[in-house]
Amino acid sequence: MRDPKSNAPRAGEQGAVSIKAVISLSLAVAALFVVIKIAPVYWDETQVKHQVDELARITANQSLKPERITKRIEEIRGEFNLPENSITLTTSGNQTAQFALKYTKTIDFIVSTYEWKVDYLAVGKGL
């Protein structure tokens, strides 16, 4: 004869969560936290690179004066809160211009910090 209680759900297991689900959810939350911390720094880096590339191209094509170059570098540094001497003009002349972009940003995670390093050389060539 069958036991009628064997087909009924067990009261002690209602709402139980498997350890696999808890671990998966915690890893997903940790990954989301890392992405939220890194994405703005990466976005700023790509924007700075684009603006320095544009400055190198304009400098090579229009032979900008050093005062205008310095002013534009200061505008970029101020816009993205970059440290002093993070953007430098390495070479200019003969329809070429090179700018070195080098800085580090500190990303603060809860348990540690990470130094995001940017080292980029923008080369502008004349027509």
**pLDDT digit string, tens, across residues 54-63:** 999 999 888 7
Higher pLDDT, 93 or 29: 29
For 6, 79, 81, 118, the CA distances from 65, given in Å and listed in that order, are 88, 21, 24, 27
Q: Three-class SS of residue 1?
A: coil
Cα 32 from Cα 126, distance rounded (Å):
43
What's the pTM?
A: 0.78
**Coil, strand or helix at 125:** strand
Which has more confidence, 17 or 103? 103
Break the chain down into helix, strand, coil percent, rounded to 5. Answer: 50, 25, 20
Q: Which pLDDT does position 6 carry in this prediction?
A: 57
pLDDT at 44 over 60: yes
- pLDDT score for 15: 63
pLDDT recorded at residue 92: 83
pLDDT digits (tens, 9 = 90+) for 68-86: 999 999 999 999 999 999 9
Concatenate the DSSP letters of all residues of 73-112 into one string: HHHHHHHHTPPTTSEEEEEEETTEEEEEEEEEEEEE-SS-
- Percent of the chain at pLDDT above 90? 67
